[in-house]
Amino acid sequence: MKYLCLVYTEEAKLAVLSDQEFEQLDADSLAYDNEMREAGHFVVAHALQSVDSATTLRVRKNKLSATDGPFAETKEQLCGFVLIAAKDLNEAIRVASKIPSARVGSVEVRPVRELAEHEPWDKRG
């Protein structure tokens, strides 16, 4: 199965890290990506640009509205993701718990629903 690990951090906490602390967090993250790759868990990971660069889209009654900024009011912002492969949720949690950004934020682990082509989305999961 695949699990999406959503990495949340308060951008203000990242902003006060020294250059050395930030570079170490980045190096630790890249090193852990390599560990996951070697163990067969790594699928893909990316960091996101600042929440200031976000645009939130909503379509209501066939009308599109675009709003600058993140989708929700929260202290922590989505700052990246890691897509991993794991045999079950317990293994996914074990792998995700070692993502270095969890030391300064949080990591949400969610199973990926594989959709067959043209399969309708089911809100029940």
Mean predicted confidence (pLDDT) in 33-61: 90
pLDDT of residue 23: 94
Q: Look at 53 and 39; give whichever has higher pLDDT.
A: 39
* Model pLDDT, residue 120: 60
Bridge partners for 71 per DSSP: none
Averaged pLDDT for residues 73-87: 87
The residue whose two tokens read 């006060």 is 16
The tokens for 85 are 């492969």
- What average pLDDT does the segment 59-73 reach? 78
The ranges assigned to domains in the chain are: 2-111
Tokens standing for 105?
A: 């934020």
The pTM of this model reads 0.80
Tell me the β-bridge partners of 60: 63
Outline where 16-122 has alpha helix (H): 19-39, 89-96
User: Is it true that domain 2-111 has CATH number 3.40.50.2000?
Assistant: no
Contacts of 55 (CB under 8 A, 6+ apart): 66, 67, 68, 69
